């Protein structure tokens, strides 16, 4: 389909600007002409052109409302519409971040209450809501670790990260100047305790552990892991990307995690919007709270206000207070579900994942054969070995069956990984239909591998040339030649 | 499947080759076996001329669509030339890893280091062992 | 409210397939000692109707302002109705990052179009798919400069938004960079002599903002040669996106990185977030810039299509060697900006001019009041600084009338005791402005 630029016709417009109702003089008298731009090179289309263009684009996009989206590690659950409606209330959208506190008591109360609910759910002493996404939450958490040791007068230069971790973990560690040390996984997909014990010296700030990990397993030895890290004075950081697995079942704070970052757009069902906005609150144990970013919402009697009065803070990671509108959605979700609903959420998420695991394990190799939490990881190795059909091919073939594929080739420690996270909002019928498709593809891989390798054939475009895109990058339209 | 490893040069276990130019410099690149593993190369981050490296330190970085790999210097020395054509045609490494796809020319600070590297036979044996381990 | 579809029969059948007797058994990997015995102590769950009522009530605890005279990093602009309709399409808002290109062509093409429009507006060859906000975009720019040039000093104008400076400081501290603030001159512009004095071969970047925090349009023609003399990057930021419609792009004036806040394009103020970090750079930095990029390519049949490209820059591939850890960005906010920009087209210039005229009218009226002065002389866009006898009192009077007043500069600039930073956008009608001025005139 054409680009909006190709649809542009000189003189068309989709907007009008109110006329100038105040006395004015020509701009050239106000601003040096050399500092003014010559032309605004934007497309010229009618409003209907615009609406048709973006509507057509939307029809070339797959969202949760269209179908099953078992993208592992992304928790693509249903996004309740009430959250969206609440977030559109003008009281929430129309306020300037510097509006006086007397204008914003509702917003401040919401942030205050959301913080308390997160503290209770995760067993942490305090939370900041400032980080804009999970990765920024990680960065904030690691900055807090760094500051903690600085204040203690300890020089710790390393941070430990399991090999199954998301790439954001080592990147966040490195951005704070830490040398990252990889801890291998053991035979059942958990932390290799001996390796951890050896690596965990007094030069190590701590361990960043995703729990459940990216294989979908809860760290069985978590008590021992925590002991090893704490015995050497380190901090135990929880990447809470997979928090959808244990709500109401356990609390990271009780387990011994000192910090955790959450992804509101995963666990608390704020939609991901094709890649954002997210929100990445960070929770900490009592003695780390003084390092949290500022400003923080406090309550004076019955009034709420911001306070900057935290001299040990790491500072700010974002302008203003975080992705407030995302918080509104998460808050609404929490209010509607309550403790009972959240527990059921995790229970059904784990049930669904284990059900898929059980149904597909005769047809695909399991990376590790044990009970999983909210997601299960298969390997496409069997299909590669027998029929030269790769995980990428299986994923593309799923498109022809109308499903969004799982996460593939991650975690990297599993060859040809297929990582399936069904989430709790999917019914047994949907899971069955997905499993039938996966089983059919396994059969196709045997009987007609070329068909799988040639997939997809029902999508608006077929497989795209990523090598060309990377060798000769074209990331902005040069216009008509 | 890979092209044979020429006898005129030395090899590292990280799959780089070094060809002694006889004038105190070596030309280096990655082996044909390596380019197979790397798949379609989309970008080579060429070092600046004058950059100093120690043996087996990263001298440059090669990117494919889904991976990034450090390329290690087979000898210690200083970068005296880079294969600028790779800027526009990184695929030369895929097409001709031992020839047109050379990456860097280095002035050696210690020519004796070349003796620490493998000859073609030893390197071929290493890659054969790799391949059978993969199966 | 319960969004799970499982019937008791479903649960029983599924447990049987799995081969366990109970849901509890599924959680047996959690060590006994850490299993919760009781439900989390959260407020009792609400029905949708009760929840809606609660949210309406909470929103009503806020006061919707009669008008907003505050800019300072967040701007009140009219958002055309089409924007909400497009970003409200669930094909967009309920999708994840477009990892599967074949069924994500919609957002990939939209991002490509967004990148193109941002590149054109900033005068840079490439723009990414977005960052968290203007502040973190500037911070990431500074880190990119440090890593690319292998230098560890960042210079930043004091006339950059105070919160942006703090975010840059936070990122610099994490990286071990020193941060040095460059003063402003009597005109309100960057003090280029002070910059020339401070800059040296260890300076990785000079970060400025135009229009700056005082609303003043910087003259990049004076700054650029000083920044580049020692090889530092010139990072030019902005907080008010609509100014791009009027001002010569920083890219044409020699900036290496242009970053800023895109909220003014199609995104409500949302009490400060989500906003839209804009990030654009020179061709040379293309393979180093943070964040996602949509690239045009072809499919197996040679048909045009789009993919996330140059992913080797990013954390999921480069891990600890990545220049940034960003993953989730602000894609939906970028889509809103795109729709707004397409809606505006050439009218963006007209909109920007209207902002200049409104601000000039408000500025003229207020500065004519007794004891109100204009401390700075350089030209402005839609924000400006005024000195008055008691800024707090004026703000209080406005607040009384339901107006969000100006930003008192003293808290960030102790030397500017009597100064108020004000903003007028197209949202203020002449009558609004006259009313705001009348209230200010009454303050004694």
What average pLDDT does chain C have?
A: 96
- Distance between A368 CA and the closest CA of chain B, angstroms: 20
Residue B103's SS3 state is coil
Residue A479's SS3 state is coil
Please state, in angstroms and rounded to a whole number, the distance separating the CA atoms of residues C383 and C424: 7
Q: How many C-alpha atoms does C69 have within 13 Å on its Cβ side? A: 33
Q: Do C317 and B67 touch (CB under 8 A)?
A: yes
What average pLDDT does chain A have?
A: 96
Nearest to A181 by CA among A195, B71, A189, A190: A195
Q: Is residue A16 part of a domain?
A: no
Find tokens 């709420």 and name the residue. Answer: A304
Q: What is the number of domains present in chain C?
A: 3
Nearest to C191 by CA among C239, C157, C165: C157
Q: Is residue A459 part of a domain?
A: yes
ipTM of the complex in this document:
0.97
Question: What pLDDT was estimated at residue C314?
Answer: 84
Q: Which residues touch B87 (CB under 8 Å, ≥6 apart)?
A: B44, B46
Would an 8 Å CB–CB cutoff place A203 in contact with chain C? no
Q: Please, which residues 351-370 of chain C have a Cβ atom closer than 8 Å to chain A?
A: 351, 353-354, 356-358, 360-361
Q: Is residue C27 part of a domain?
A: yes
Question: What pLDDT was estimated at residue A479?
Answer: 83
- Distance between A467 CA and the closest CA of chain B, angstroms: 6
Q: Do A319 and C88 touch (CB under 8 A)?
A: no
CB count within 10 Å of CB A165 equals: 25
CB count within 10 Å of CB A90 equals: 11
Please state, in angstroms and rounded to a whole number, the distance separating the CA atoms of residues A148 and C339: 44
**Does residue C315 sit in the same domain as residue C268?**
yes
Q: What angle do CA C109, C114, C118 make, to 5 degrees?
A: 150
Residue C336's SS3 state is helix
Q: Compute CA A329 distance to the chain's CA centroid, rounded to the nearest angstrom.
A: 15
Q: What is the DSSP letter of A22?
A: S
**Does residue A331 sit in the same domain as residue A350?**
no
Please state, in angstroms and rounded to a whole number, the distance separating the CA atoms of residues A405 and C99: 10
- Distance between C149 CA and the closest CA of chain A, angstroms: 16
Contacts of A463 in chain B (CB under 8 A): none
List for chain B the helix, strand, coil content (%; round to 5): 25, 35, 40
Task: Enter the tokens of residue C379.
Answer: 């030209």
Residue C319's SS3 state is helix
Contacts of A466 in chain B (CB under 8 A): 65
Please state, in angstroms and rounded to a whole number, the distance separating the CA atoms of residues C279 and C291: 9
Residue A46 burial by CB count (10 A; 0-12/13-18/19+): exposed, middle or buried?
middle
Contacts of B90 in chain A (CB under 8 A): 471
Find tokens 């269209």 and name the residue. Answer: A66
Cα-Cα-Cα-Cα torsion A331, A332, A337, A342, nearest 10 degrees, comes to -30
Please state, in angstroms and rounded to a whole number, the distance separating the CA atoms of residues C64 and C380: 28
Would an 8 Å CB–CB cutoff place B63 in contact with chain A? yes
**Does residue A418 sit in the same domain as residue A326?**
no
Task: Grade residue C335 by pLDDT with cuts at 50, 70 and 90.
Answer: very high
Would an 8 Å CB–CB cutoff place B65 in contact with chain A? yes
Task: Grade residue B98 by pLDDT with cuts at 50, 70 and 90.
Answer: very high
Q: Is residue C2 part of a domain?
A: no
Q: Compute CA C201 distance to the chain's CA centroid, rounded to the nearest angstrom.
A: 30
Q: Of A320, A337, A354, which residue is a domain's last?
A: A337
- In tens, the pLDDT along A52-65 reads 999 999 999 999 99
Question: What pLDDT was estimated at residue A252?
Answer: 97
**Does residue A350 sit in the same domain as residue A325?**
no
Question: What pLDDT was estimated at residue C344?
Answer: 98
- Residues C215, C385 contacting (CB under 8 angstroms): yes
- In tens, the pLDDT along C163-205 reads 999 999 999 998 999 999 999 999 999 999 999 999 999 999 9
Q: What is the number of domains present in chain A?
A: 2
Residue A32's SS3 state is coil
Q: Is residue A42 part of a domain?
A: no
Q: Please, which residues 177-216 of chain C have a Cβ atom closer than 8 Å to chain A?
A: none
Residue of B nearest to C285 (CA): B45
Would an 8 Å CB–CB cutoff place C162 in contact with chain A? no
Please tell me the least confidently modeled range out of A327-331, B63-67, C374-378.
B63-67
Please state, in angstroms and rounded to a whole number, the distance separating the CA atoms of residues C109 and C297: 11
**Does residue C283 sit in the same domain as residue C384?**
no
Task: Enter the tokens of residue A183.
Answer: 């801890």
Find the length of chain A: 481
Cα distances (Å, whole numbers) of residue C298 to A104, A461, A474, C309: 50, 9, 11, 13
Query: Mean of the pLDDT values across residues A83-90?
Result: 97
Residue of A nearest to B65 (CA): A467
Q: Compute CA C309 distance to the chain's CA centroid, rounded to the nearest angstrom.
A: 24
Contacts of C321 in chain A (CB under 8 A): 174
Nearest to A96 by CA among C232, C272, C312, C124: C272
Please state, in angstroms and rounded to a whole number, the distance separating the CA atoms of residues A308 and A174: 28
- Of A204 and C327, which is predicted with more confidence? A204
**Does residue C330 sit in the same domain as residue C355?**
no
- Distance between A365 CA and the closest CA of chain C, angstroms: 16
Would an 8 Å CB–CB cutoff place A174 in contact with chain C? yes
Q: Of C324, C344, C364, which residue is a domain's last?
A: C344
Q: Do A466 and B65 touch (CB under 8 A)?
A: yes
Query: Mean of the pLDDT values across residues C377-392?
Result: 96
Nearest to A456 by CA among C302, C307, B66, C299: C299
**Does residue C322 sit in the same domain as residue C367?**
no
Question: What pLDDT was estimated at residue B134?
Answer: 58
Beta strands in C13-108 (DSSP E): 67-68
- Residues C237, C371 contacting (CB under 8 angstroms): no
**Does residue C15 sit in the same domain as residue C110?**
no
Please state, in angstroms and rounded to a whole number, the distance separating the CA atoms of residues C112 and B105: 39
- Distance between C258 CA and the closest CA of chain A, angstroms: 16
Pick among C19, C248, C304, C342 to test the A interface (most A CBs inside 10 A): C342
Q: Is residue A439 part of a domain?
A: yes
Q: Is residue A59 part of a domain?
A: no
Q: Do B65 and C287 touch (CB under 8 A)?
A: no
Q: Do B42 and A470 touch (CB under 8 A)?
A: yes
- Chains with 3 or more CB pairs closer than 8 angstroms to A? B, C
- Distance between B88 CA and the closest CA of chain A, angstroms: 8
Cα separation of the two ends of chain C: 55
Stretch (H or E) spanning C234: strand C233-238
Stretch (H or E) spanning A259: strand A259-261
List for chain C the helix, strand, coil content (%; round to 5): 45, 15, 40
Please tell me the least confidently modeled range out of A89-103, B53-67, C252-266, C337-351.
B53-67
Give yes or no for residue A361 having a pLDDT over 60.
yes
List for chain A the helix, strand, coil content (%; round to 5): 40, 15, 45
- Distance between B5 CA and the closest CA of chain C, angstroms: 29
CB count within 10 Å of CB B76 equals: 18
Question: What pLDDT was estimated at residue A481?
Answer: 45
Please state, in angstroms and rounded to a whole number, the distance separating the CA atoms of residues A175 and A183: 19
Q: Do C102 and A90 touch (CB under 8 A)?
A: no
Residue A237's SS3 state is strand
Structural domain containing residue A358 = 342-467
Work out the angle between the directed axes of helices A47-59 and C105-122 (0-180°, nearest 10): 130
- Distance between C252 CA and the closest CA of chain A, angstroms: 10
Please state, in angstroms and rounded to a whole number, the distance separating the CA atoms of residues C360 and C371: 18
Nearest to C334 by CA among C173, C175, C118, C177: C118
Please state, in angstroms and rounded to a whole number, the distance separating the CA atoms of residues A59 and A53: 10
**Does residue C35 sit in the same domain as residue C107?**
no
- Residues C149, C288 contacting (CB under 8 angstroms): no
Contacts of A132 in chain C (CB under 8 A): 132-133, 136, 273-274, 328, 330
Structural domain containing residue C30 = 8-58
Question: What pLDDT was estimated at residue B43?
Answer: 95
Residue of A nearest to C60 (CA): A91
Residue A239's SS3 state is strand
- Chains with 3 or more CB pairs closer than 8 angstroms to B? A, C
Q: Do B42 and C312 touch (CB under 8 A)?
A: yes
**Does residue A188 sit in the same domain as residue A291?**
yes
Pick among B58, B63, B64, B90 to test the C interface (most C CBs inside 10 A): B63
Task: Grade residue B132 by pLDDT with cuts at 50, 70 and 90.
Answer: confident
Where residue C224 sits, what CATH number does that domain have? 3.40.640.10
Question: What pLDDT was estimated at residue C356?
Answer: 97
> Which residue numbers of B have CB closer than 8 Å to C's CBs?
42-43, 45, 63-68
Pick among A467, A468, A472, A475 to test the B interface (most B CBs inside 10 A): A467
Task: Grade residue A480 by pLDDT with cuts at 50, 70 and 90.
Answer: low
Laid out side by side, the sheet with B25-30 consists of B10-11, B16-20, B25-30, B104-108, B77-82, B52-53
Pick among C309, C312, C316 to test the B interface (most B CBs inside 10 A): C312
Would an 8 Å CB–CB cutoff place B134 in contact with chain A? no
Please state, in angstroms and rounded to a whole number, the distance separating the CA atoms of residues B37 and A258: 41
Please state, in angstroms and rounded to a whole number, the distance separating the CA atoms of residues C391 and B104: 64
Rg (CA), chain A: 25
Q: How many C-alpha atoms does A404 have within 13 Å on its Cβ side? A: 33
**Does residue C22 sit in the same domain as residue C135?**
no
Q: Is residue C1 part of a domain?
A: no
Q: Do A336 and C45 touch (CB under 8 A)?
A: yes
Of A120, A274, A315, the CB nearest to C331: A274
Residue of B nearest to C288 (CA): B45
Please state, in angstroms and rounded to a whole number, the distance separating the CA atoms of residues A126 and A116: 8
**Does residue C249 sit in the same domain as residue C395?**
no
Query: Mean of the pLDDT values across residues C406-425?
Result: 97
Where residue A326 sits, what CATH number does that domain have? 3.40.640.10
Q: Do A175 and C56 touch (CB under 8 A)?
A: no
Residue of B nearest to A384 (CA): B135
- In tens, the pLDDT along A157-216 reads 999 999 989 989 999 999 999 999 999 999 999 999 999 999 999 999 999 999 999 999
Q: Of A303, A321, A337, which residue is a domain's last?
A: A337
Stretch (H or E) spanning A348: helix A324-360
Contacts of C289 in chain B (CB under 8 A): none
- Distance between B94 CA and the closest CA of chain C, angstroms: 18
Query: Mean of the pLDDT values across residues C259-266?
Result: 98
Question: What percentage of chain C has pLDDT greater than the value 90?
Answer: 95
**Does residue C389 sit in the same domain as residue C320?**
no
Question: What pLDDT was estimated at residue C323?
Answer: 83
What are the beta bridge partners of residue B43? B63
Q: Is residue C3 part of a domain?
A: no
Would an 8 Å CB–CB cutoff place A435 in contact with chain C? no
Would an 8 Å CB–CB cutoff place B135 in contact with chain A? no
A295 cis-preceded (ω within 30 degrees of 0): yes
What does DSSP say about strands C178-182 and C153-157: parallel, antiparallel, or unpaired? parallel
* CATH architecture, domain B10-108: Beta Barrel (2.40)
Would an 8 Å CB–CB cutoff place A23 in contact with chain C? yes
Where residue A434 sits, what CATH number does that domain have? 3.90.1150.10
**Does residue C51 sit in the same domain as residue C151?**
no
Residue A445's SS3 state is helix
Q: Do C311 and B43 touch (CB under 8 A)?
A: no
Q: Do A471 and B66 touch (CB under 8 A)?
A: no
Query: Mean of the pLDDT values across residues C371-380?
Result: 95
Pick among C35, C40, C356 to test the A interface (most A CBs inside 10 A): C40
- Residues A128, A139 contacting (CB under 8 angstroms): no
Please state, in angstroms and rounded to a whole number, the distance separating the CA atoms of residues C277 and C130: 5
- Per-residue DSSP letters for C268-297? --GGG-S--EEEEE-GGGTTT--S--EEEE
């Amino acid at each position: 389909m054409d680009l909006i630029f190709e649809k542009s016709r000189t003189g068309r417009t989709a907007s009008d600007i109110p006329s100038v109702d105040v006395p004015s003089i020509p701009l050239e008298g106000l601003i040096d002409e050399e500092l003014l731009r010559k032309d605004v090179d934007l497309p010229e289309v009618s409003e209907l052109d615009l609406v048709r263009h973006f509507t057509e684009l939307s029809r070339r996009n797959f969202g949760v409302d269209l179908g099953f989206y078992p993208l592992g590690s992304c928790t693509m659950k249903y996004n309740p519409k009430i959250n969206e409606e609440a977030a559109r209330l003008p009281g929430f959208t129309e306020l300037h971040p510097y509006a006086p506190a007397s204008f914003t008591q509702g917003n401040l109360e919401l942030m205050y209450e959301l913080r308390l609910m997160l503290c209770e759910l995760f067993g942490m002493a305090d939370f900041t809501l400032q980080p804009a996404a999970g990765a920024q939450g990680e960065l904030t958490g690691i900055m807090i670790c760094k500051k903690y040791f600085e204040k203690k007068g300890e020089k710790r230069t390393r941070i430990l990260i399991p090999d199954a971790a998301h790439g954001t973990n080592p990147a966040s560690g490195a951005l704070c100047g830490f040398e990252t040390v990889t801890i291998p996984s053991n035979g059942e997909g958990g932390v290799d305790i001996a390796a951890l014990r050896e690596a965990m010296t007094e030069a190590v700030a701590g361990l960043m552990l995703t729990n459940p990990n990216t294989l979908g397993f809860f760290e069985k030895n978590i008590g021992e892991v925590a002991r090893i890290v704490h015995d050497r004075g380190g901090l135990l950081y929880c990447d809470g990307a997979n928090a959808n697995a244990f709500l109401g079942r356990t609390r990271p704070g009780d387990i011994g995690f000192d910090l955790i970052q959450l992804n509101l757009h995963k666990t608390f069902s704020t939609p991901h919007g094709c890649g954002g906005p997210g929100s990445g609150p960070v929770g900490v144990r009592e003695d780390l709270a003084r390092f949290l970013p500022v400003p923080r919402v406090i309550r004076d009697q019955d009034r709420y206000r911001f306070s900057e009065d935290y001299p040990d803070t790491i500072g700010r990671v974002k302008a203003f207070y975080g992705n407030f509108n995302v918080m509104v959605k998460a808050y609404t979700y929490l209010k509607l579900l309550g403790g009972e609903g959240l527990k059921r959420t995790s229970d059904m998420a784990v049930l669904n994942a284990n059900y898929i695991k059980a149904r597909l394990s005769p047809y695909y190799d399991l990376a590790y054969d044990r009970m999983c939490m909210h997601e299960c990881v298969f390997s496409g190795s069997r299909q590669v070995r027998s029929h030269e059909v790769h995980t990428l091919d299986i994923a593309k073939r799923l498109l022809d069956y109308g499903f969004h594929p799982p996460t593939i080739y991650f975690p990297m420690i599993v060859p040809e990984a297929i990582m399936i996270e069904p989430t709790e909002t999917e019914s047994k019928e949907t899971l069955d239909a997905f499993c039938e498709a996966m089983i059919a593809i396994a059969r196709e891989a045997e009987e007609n591998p070329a068909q799988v390798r040639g997939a997809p054939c029902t999508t608006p475009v077929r497989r795209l040339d990523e090598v060309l895109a990377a060798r000769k990058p074209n990331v902005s339209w040069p216009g008509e030649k | 499947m890979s092209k044979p490893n020429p006898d005129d040069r030395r090899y590292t276990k990280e799959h780089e080759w070094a060809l002694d130019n006889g004038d105190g410099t070596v030309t280096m690149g990655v082996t044909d076996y390596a380019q197979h593993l790397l798949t379609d190369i989309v970008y080579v981050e060429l070092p600046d001329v004058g950059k100093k490296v120690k043996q087996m330190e990263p001298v440059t970085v090669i990117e494919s669509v889904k991976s990034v790999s450090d390329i290690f210097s087979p000898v210690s020395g200083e970068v005296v030339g880079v294969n600028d054509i790779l800027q526009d045609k990184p695929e030369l490494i895929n097409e001709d890893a031992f020839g047109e796809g050379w990456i860097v020319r280095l002035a050696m600070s210690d020519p004796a280091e070349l003796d620490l590297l493998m000859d073609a036979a030893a390197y071929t044996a290493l890659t054969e062992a790799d391949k059978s381990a993969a199966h | 409210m319960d969004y799970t579809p499982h019937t008791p029969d479903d649960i029983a059948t599924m447990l049987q397939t799995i081969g366990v007797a109970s849901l509890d058994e599924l959680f047996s990997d959690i060590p006994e000692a850490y299993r919760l015995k009781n439900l989390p102590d959260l407020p009792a769950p609400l029905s949708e109707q009760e929840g809606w009522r609660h949210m309406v009530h909470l929103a009503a605890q806020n006061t919707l302002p009669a008008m907003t005279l505050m800019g300072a990093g967040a701007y009140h602009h009219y958002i055309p109705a089409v924007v909400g309709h497009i970003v409200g399409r669930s094909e967009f808002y309920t999708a994840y990052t477009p990892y599967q290109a074949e069924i994500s062509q919609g957002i990939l093409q939209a991002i490509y179009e967004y990148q193109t429009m941002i590149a054109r507006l900033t005068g840079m060859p490439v723009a990414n798919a977005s960052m968290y906000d203007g502040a973190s975009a500037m911070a990431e720019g500074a880190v990119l400069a440090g890593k690319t040039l292998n230098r560890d000093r960042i210079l930043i104008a004091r006339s950059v938004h105070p919160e942006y400076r703090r975010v840059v400081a936070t990122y610099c501290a994490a990286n071990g960079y020193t941060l040095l603030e460059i003063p402003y001159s009597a005109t309100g512009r960057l003090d280029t002599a002070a910059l020339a004095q401070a800059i040296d071969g260890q300076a990785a970047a000079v970060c400025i903002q135009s229009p700056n925090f005082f609303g003043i349009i910087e003259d990049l023609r004076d700054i650029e040669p000083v920044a580049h003399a020692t090889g530092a990057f010139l990072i030019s930021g902005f907080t008010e996106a609509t100014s791009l419609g009027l001002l010569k792009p920083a890219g044409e004036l020699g900036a290496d990185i242009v970053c800023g806040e895109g909220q003014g394009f199609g995104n409500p103020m949302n009490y400060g977030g989500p906003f839209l970090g804009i990030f654009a750079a020179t061709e040379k930095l293309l393979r180093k810039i943070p964040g996602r990029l949509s690239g045009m390519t072809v499919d197996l049949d040679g048909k045009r299509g789009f993919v996330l490209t140059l992913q080797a820059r990013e954390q999921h591939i480069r891990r600890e060697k990545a220049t940034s850890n960003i993953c989730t960005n602000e894609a939906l906010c970028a889509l809103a900006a795109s729709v707004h920009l397409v809606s505006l087209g050439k009218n963006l210039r007209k909109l920007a001019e209207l902002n200049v005229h409104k601000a000039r009218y408000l500025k003229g009226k207020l500065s004519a009041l007794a004891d109100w002065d204009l401390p700075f002389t350089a030209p402005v866009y839609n924000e400006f600084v005024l000195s008055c006898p008691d800024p707090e009192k004026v703000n209080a009077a406005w607040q009384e009338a339901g107006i969000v007043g100006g930003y008192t500069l003293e808290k960030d600039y102790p030397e500017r005791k009597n100064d108020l930073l004000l903003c007028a956008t197209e949202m203020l009608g002449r009558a609004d402005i006259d009313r705001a001025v009348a209230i200010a005139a009454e303050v004694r």
